[in-house]
A and B are shown apart, each in its own frame.
Chain A
Amino acid sequence: MMTEQKATDQKNNETHIAQYAMTAKKLSTKKKSALILLAISLMLLPFALGLMGPSWVRTADYALLYCMLALGLNIVVGYAGLLDLGYIAFYALGAYMVAVLASPHLNIHVSPWLLIPIGAGFAGLAGAILGAPTLKLRGDYLAIVTLGFGEIVRLFMQNLDRPINITNGTQGISGIDNLSFFGHDFGSGFDLFGQHFNGSYLYYYLFLALVLIVIGICMRLENSRIGRAWVAIREDELAAKAMGINTRNIKLLAFAMGASFGGVAGGMFASFQGFIDPTSFSLMESIMVLCMVVLGGMGNIAGVILGAVLLTLTPEVLREVIRPLQEALFGRQVVDPDNVRMLIFGIALVAMMLFRPEGLLPSRRRKEEFHHD
């Protein structure tokens, strides 16, 4: 009797799993053409943007950097539910690591390629160090501690020019080495069909590749033992403990993982921009990245990317639009475009949180959370 029962159970399971595998496969064939189209348009995007003006390619590069940051923060905030307001500190650590070790400032020139993994590891370690004292905190308390951490790192960078000049203080570090690929300097750009394309094109492809890697890592983590443990801690920490989850280690892992993405993005930022100073790592930046995650859809990779792209592009678009619009309407500029931009941004955030608190593209789980009766 018992074995018979078990055999049928086993059989049912196998059919279920086979069905599961089949639906997964079917979807991929259906989406294949869409994916190829997306890939081609992403490849051609910088050239299209270049026609609008060279600054747009740079904007696209920044958008990709913010994608990396937002995806990293999404692991901490979206998956594990740990509100981190000092995330930009890891971006700063990655950036300063490259700036100090690959610039004329101390006349050290370590290859930035080598610095990427080191930066990731260093930021990850810093993430775990930040995580350690906050393990027992949740929500607002955690937010305040992480906020403090973010400010501490920024102030360190600002003041580490004495007694030994490491970060060059408020003046920042300039002349940071460009990445190079088989001897070809990324900063010098390339020539194609007799036309010169500057370095931001090359960086675009590099950042795109890195974002794709980060997306891949996030997707795999999401549906893994570790990813499930993160969500379980977010949902109910006590129950997670009762399930044998070592909440301390799993939380530290979330902090470290998210921070390492931030570190890589920071290193790329330093190398791409060639110059960094502490103002790039203010609290406002942490809040912007958090806004990208929340606005796009916490816990959902596509949503987070959309949030990052939208929040990077919107200010640029508004910058282009507001002045001509005012001149057309009033014949002169009435209000400073920057103020209008912040106003629109603020209104958009308030409206979002009122009408679509789960974000533009919510994760399945979040959607349920906000719309139930």
Chain B
Amino acid sequence: MTDPRQKALLEFENINKSFGGVHALKEVSLRIEQGTIHGLIGPNGAGKTTLFNVMTGMYQADSGKFWFDGNAISLKTSPQVLAKKGLARTFQNIRLFSEMTALENVMVGQHSQTKTGIIGAILRTPAAKREELMIRQEGLRLLQYVGLSDDVACRVARTLSYGDQRRLEIARALALKPRLLALDEPAAGMNPTETAQLQALIRRLHADGMTIVLIEHDVGLMMRLCDRISVLDFGEKIADGTPEEIRRNERVIKAYLGGEATAQAGKGHEPRSVAE
């Protein structure tokens, strides 16, 4: 038998994280397979974003094991090292470099992929010039990829529409050439048109071979998009499976709708409006 870890791009084993007395993550284990769209759902405060933060090095887990791309990762690994290893993320509350242009944001994203140092920049060596042109080209390509037009490229990020800012954040994350793209509520605050466009973008990324892990409150969207879904509740993983399995899972329905509603929801109602 081959080691199952060979196939998983990311694996967590019994991850724990507490903030003072609050046990935000309890013995969470998670496998994200190469090339899948993996959803994370759960009521507010379930620990989804905490899990993301552990995954991207923003928080250090108290205990547990972490593998990425077949390698064991120390829980103390810093965000910039994980970013270099190929873990890119977006943020729940947009964190663009708001006074830089859209293009510059994506150019910053390529920082770890490039290597011009201070001497190269001052002397503007041929290698530095070439790299700078490459960064610019790649930046424009990524903006196009996520569907931002050329005239958006030179606009300051803060002046972009909400939907465009979300997309720019994805473009910036893609600039890292990630192995795993972690999207934290990318559809939050979007209107239905923007959500549909986002869905198309995520599908396109998936078709191009990107592994995506996604937090989203719009359960309908998650059911349509994800290959697998993990459900968190009060810091514990209560279910894991395909959207169809999750839809039928008693514990999930209970977590979302509370005890009384179990019987009714169990008959196959889509738990669509659970976002609130």
Given the contacts A241-B78, A242-B83, A225 and B111 also touching, CB distance less than 8 Å: yes
Stretch at the interface among A49-57, A231-239, A315-323: A231-239
What residues of A have a CB within 8 angstroms of the CB of B122 in the complex? Answer: 217, 220-221
Interface residue B16 (Cβ < 8 Å from any Cβ of A): no
Alpha-carbon distance between A225 and B116 when the two chains are bound, in angstroms:
7
Looking at the complex, which one of A10, A220, A245, A369 makes contact with B112 (CB distance below 8 Å)?
A: A245
What residues of A have a CB within 8 angstroms of the CB of B104 in the complex? Answer: 228, 231
> Mostly helix, strand, loop or mixed at chain B's interface?
helix
In the complex, the answer to whether B83 meets A220 with C-beta atoms within 8 Å is: no
Interface residue B156 (Cβ < 8 Å from any Cβ of A): yes
Alpha-carbon distance between A147 and B263 when the two chains are bound, in angstroms:
67
Closest to A363 in B: B99
In the complex, the answer to whether B144 meets A12 with C-beta atoms within 8 Å is: yes
Closest to A6 in B: B141
In the complex, the answer to whether B111 meets A229 with C-beta atoms within 8 Å is: yes
Interface residue A40 (Cβ < 8 Å from any Cβ of B): no
Stretch at the interface among B128-136, B195-203, B237-245, B251-259: B128-136
What residues of A have a CB within 8 angstroms of the CB of B121 in the complex? Answer: 220-221, 224-227
Interface residue A31 (Cβ < 8 Å from any Cβ of B): no
In the complex, the answer to whether B99 meets A239 with C-beta atoms within 8 Å is: no
Given the contacts A17-B136, A225-B116, A228-B100, A245 and B158 also touching, CB distance less than 8 Å: no
Alpha-carbon distance between A223 and B103 when the two chains are bound, in angstroms:
12
What residues of A have a CB within 8 angstroms of the CB of B159 in the complex? Answer: 368, 372
In the complex, the answer to whether B89 meets A242 with C-beta atoms within 8 Å is: yes
What residues of B have a CB within 8 angstroms of the CB of A228 in the complex? Answer: 100, 104, 107-108, 111
Alpha-carbon distance between A272 and B96 when the two chains are bound, in angstroms:
46
What does the 1/0 interface line of A239-275 toward B look like (CB < 8 Å)? Answer: 1111111110000010001000000000000000000
In the complex, the answer to whether B156 meets A243 with C-beta atoms within 8 Å is: no
In the complex, the answer to whether A238 meets B95 with C-beta atoms within 8 Å is: yes
Given the contacts A224-B116, A241-B80, A243-B108, A9 and B144 also touching, CB distance less than 8 Å: yes
Chain A 266-290 interface residues, beta-carbon cutoff 8 Å to B: none
In the complex, the answer to whether B116 meets A369 with C-beta atoms within 8 Å is: no
In the complex, the answer to whether B95 meets A236 with C-beta atoms within 8 Å is: yes
Alpha-carbon distance between A217 and B117 when the two chains are bound, in angstroms:
13
In the complex, the answer to whether B97 meets A235 with C-beta atoms within 8 Å is: yes
Q: Which of B107, B118, B136, B158 has the most CB of A within 10 A?
A: B118
Interface residue B114 (Cβ < 8 Å from any Cβ of A): yes
In the complex, the answer to whether A246 meets B80 with C-beta atoms within 8 Å is: yes
Looking at the complex, which one of B79, B84, B133, B158 makes contact with A17 (CB distance below 8 Å)?
A: B133
Alpha-carbon distance between A235 and B104 when the two chains are bound, in angstroms:
12
In the complex, the answer to whether B128 meets A231 with C-beta atoms within 8 Å is: no
List the interface of chain A (C-beta within 8 A of B). Answer: 9-10, 12-13, 16-17, 20, 217, 220-221, 223-229, 231-232, 235-236, 238-247, 253, 257, 364-366, 368-369, 372
Given A10-B141, A20-B136, A239-B95, 12 additional A-B pairs, CB 8 A:
A17-B133, A17-B140, A221-B118, A224-B121, A225-B132, A226-B118, A228-B104, A232-B108, A242-B88, A243-B80, A243-B176, A368-B156
A-B contact pairs, 21 of them (CB 8 A): A9-B145, A13-B137, A13-B141, A16-B140, A17-B133, A17-B137, A20-B136, A225-B121, A225-B135, A226-B116, A226-B118, A228-B108, A235-B98, A242-B79, A242-B88, A242-B89, A243-B80, A243-B172, A244-B80, A244-B111, A253-B118
